[in-house]
Amino acid sequence: MPRILALLLTFVTAQVWALGEEPAPALIPIPEQPDLPPPTESGQPMEPDITIIRRDKELIEEYRVNNRLYMVKIKPSVGPPYYLLDTDGDGKMDLRRNELEKGMQVPQWVLFSW
């Protein structure tokens, strides 16, 4: 018992001595929150319009921007969901992708149109 008491006293003394040597860390002030950017004034929506359609046991989500359908997500009752994409903007779904495919889709934006 005296050994355990001596060991415990040595341990507590070492801890107190170690805490006494270190200076307290300096506090760094937190910067102020920046102002929010002004809202968009162009009138165009920043997010796509999503239409959800339920047929039997499958779920269909249609994604539109400026009333143009660019993507359809289909969640069948059995199997993984898949996407139909309009890659060239002609209104026809050209490409089919699913979440299991690996690879990269290159962004294709329309910069000018007449």
Per-block average pLDDT, block size 10, for the chain (114 residues)?
74 60 68 73 70 89 86 88 84 75 68 77
Whether CATH 2.20.130.30 fits 49-98: yes
What DSSP character marks residue 5?
H
pLDDT, position 50:
86
pLDDT, position 18:
54
7: left (phi over 0), alpha (psi -120 to 50) or beta: alpha
CA distance 91 to 69: 7
CA distance 89 to 111: 12
pLDDT, position 59:
92
pLDDT, position 5:
74
